[in-house]
Structure 1
Amino acid sequence: MPHYRAYGLTLFANAPIPGLVALVQPLSSSPDICVELDAMPSFWHPQLQNSESARAWYVSHRQDAQGQPILQAWQLQQGAYFRLKYCDGTEFIVDRGGCRIWAKWIAPLTLEDTATYLLGPILGFVLRLRGSVCLHASGVAIRDRAVLFLGQAGAGKSTTAAAFAQSGYPVLCDDVAALTLKNGQFFVRPGYPRLRLWSKSVIALFGNPESLPRIVPTHPTWDKRYLDLVQNDYRFQGNSLPLAGIYRLSQRLDRAIAPKIERMSSQAGMMSLIANTYTNYLLTKQMRSTEFEVLGQLLQSVPLQQLHPRADPSYLPQLVELIASDLGTES
């Protein structure tokens, strides 16, 4: 059975996971996480499902076209497990220690659909359970240092990282930036060797949406695609790197002054970090308290600046040059 490495953790799965590259050499020790696809734990049964459904621990405010919450979550077995169910019927059960994951889906959904959840919010939640603070950010390596692009969905995090990839820089992570604090210094763990891009971004970067394959080939409407970072001379940064800077992607400007970088006040920086932590909607009070302390340390030790891209995507190469030059001034 395949073994993988993602976000600094080793994973064992009972079937191949789309998007991950299997390790060539078998693990010499037990994996950090065991993933069972198309399976549920032995204690799970319909009667338990019905009884737990009345006690949702979390219900998302966002709803689908039918008015159903995008995500609901429950705590099971006196809090020993979490159940997360998406509106399309995909569901996961995760143990509190972040060591085991079970996943189930319904037709016409496929393993590829489920993997988009698994490699994003589910592993993001597991990282949080295991004590890692994660930012909603994509990252690249510049001179053996990590640089993160922070922002909400649609801000251009993955697009910016892809522009760096086109310029020959290694990509460190996409959408989920897992942080580790060692001897007073923050490091960013490597994610996995893919960048996910909407067709609009693919057109801006490559000229044609068909330049990159769909993440889910059979999905009729979801047109997100991926850049494979182990093909065509692209580079994936497979080791953790010290974090040298964070850029919060802000409003795109049409004016000739863009792209530009602006300093952020400490207050604005802290608010931005708090708003852009990953899966913060699933945190307990204790996890939230710990996160707040870590973000305070992060703000004191790593420069956080606001980045205004040019609205015209043809200026992405200039954006890459600006950030690389700015990081040099921080050396």
Structure 2
Amino acid sequence: MTLVTHRLDTAVRYRVYGSILSCTARLHELEQTLCLDSTENTDLRIQFSSPDESIPLPSSWYLTISLADGTPWLRYAEIASGYLLHFPHLADFVYNTSSDSIRCIPQAKTPPHTLHHLLLDQVLPLVLNYKGKEVLHGAAVVTPHGACAFVGPTGTGKSTLAASFLAAGHSVLTDDCVVLNLQGKNIFAIPAYPGIRLWDDAIAALFGTMGSCAPVAHYTDKQRFTAALSAAPFCSSAVPLVGVYVLETGDDEHAALISAPKVCLLEEREALMTLLSLSFKLDIRDRRMLTREFDFLHRLVTHIPVRRLTVPDSFSALPAVQAAVLHDLALSC
């Protein structure tokens, strides 16, 4: 694989998560942004380098995220210019805090679509956290009452539930990463980019042969699904957040016992601690960031209901889950 690094004056501009990116390579997942306002600043500059480019020497490694089997997935390091994010055997991303730039140094065999996935769905949420945004691990959809977010650990069905709303004609705001922003007295959910990451069985159950798919990354069978089943399948503007649902599916032993969705309001303290555990954080040692995040999420849980949503492990139950969520929002909004 060869990545062509373009000159800076040929960089393409994109809008995602409410930010303007300038990138030296084509990101096929995003739509190019026309520069109608010459005063509009670029928030982040993205550069894809060659695999043989040198990687900055870390001054310290301060965090390692591992997969369920213990394999290291992502290592965080501090470097002189900012931060280094190392995905073993895949790529390194260098975030320069002074120039607001992200440089990707890939491994020779890592394909471009995998690099794009790592950038958009792993690295960018962490960088946005550093830049002052609060970011939750989840998906968000648009309902008649406003935006609602589905949050939870990996594997709890956030994307599948969001996709079921899409199949029912609702718009999707974001998948896997919910960026939040305070505007006036309201908290808004910020749109990401078109696509929901789904397994083949979920795509078949919800959409059949409709829509289009593209591989998420070479190391997973998940597909990035896009569809045109509603007037605006993927929302492009911020929407006020009116509810947060923490997904729970039960462990393997008890999952079969869950036959119907259950909605339960969380007390503010439990809601706050849960959301703190589900947020993207670039530097867990940054006390100012931790204070800012705590204050923001405390405001969220005092103004917006956070509920635990127990979901049956069955595609056939998804219409009942949708109905329960919409009924709950109608009562609380």
Aligned to 2:62: 58
Moved more, 132-141 or 310-319: 310-319
Shift of 1:92: 0.7
| Identical pairs, percent | 26
Structure 1 residue 149, shift from structure 2 partner:
0.2
Deviation at 1:212, TM superposition (A): 5.0
- Alignment of 1:223 onto 2:221: yes
Give yes or no for contact 2:266–2:307 (8 Å, CA) kept in 1: yes
Change (3 A) 1:248 1:68: closer
**Secondary structure of 1:60's match?**
strand
Amino acid at match of 1:85: H
1:151 aligns with 2:152: yes
Query: Which amino acid in structure 2 is aligned with residue 31 of structure 1?
Result: T
**Aligned runs of 1:1-331 on 2, under 5 Å?**
1-24=11-34, 28=38, 29-38=40-49, 46=54, 49=56, 52-53=57-58, 55-62=59-66, 69-77=72-80, 80-96=81-97, 99-143=100-144, 145-206=146-207, 213-216=213-216, 219=218, 221-229=219-227, 235-252=233-250, 253-255=255-257, 258-279=260-281, 282=284, 284-331=286-333
CA distance in structure 2 between the partners assigned to 1:71 and 1:8 by the alignment:
25
State the Cα distance separating 1:68 from its structure 2 match.
Answer: 6.1
Decide whether aligned partners of structure 1 residues 25 and 286 sit closer, same or farther in structure 2, where only a CA change above 3 A counts: closer
Instruction: From the superposition, tell whether residues 178 and 97 of structure 1 become closer, same or farther in structure 2 (CA, over 3 Å).
Output: farther
User: 1 CA distance for matches of 2:94 and 2:189?
Assistant: 27
* 1:171-225 Cα distance to aligned partner (Å, 9 max, x none): 01111111111223211111111111123433442458x97534257x3x52010
Q: Quote the residue 2:3 is aligned against.
A: none
Q: Tell me how many residue pairs correspond in the alignment.
A: 318
Answer 1 or 2: which has greater strand percent.
2
Unmatched segments (≥5 aa) in structure 1: none
SS of 1:57's equivalent in the other structure is: strand
> Separation in 1 of the partners of 2:67 and 2:331?
45
Aligned to 1:246, the other structure's residue is in SS state strand
Once the two structures are TM-superposed, the CA of residue 250 in structure 1 deviates from its matched residue by 0.9
Contact 1:64–1:70, Cα closer than 8 Å, also in 2 = no
Structure 2 regions of 5+ residues with no counterpart?
1-10
CA distance in 2, matches of 1:285, 1:276: 18
CA-based RMSD of the aligned residues comes to 2.7
- Report SS of the residue matched to 2:140: strand
Q: TM-score, normalised by structure 1?
A: 0.86
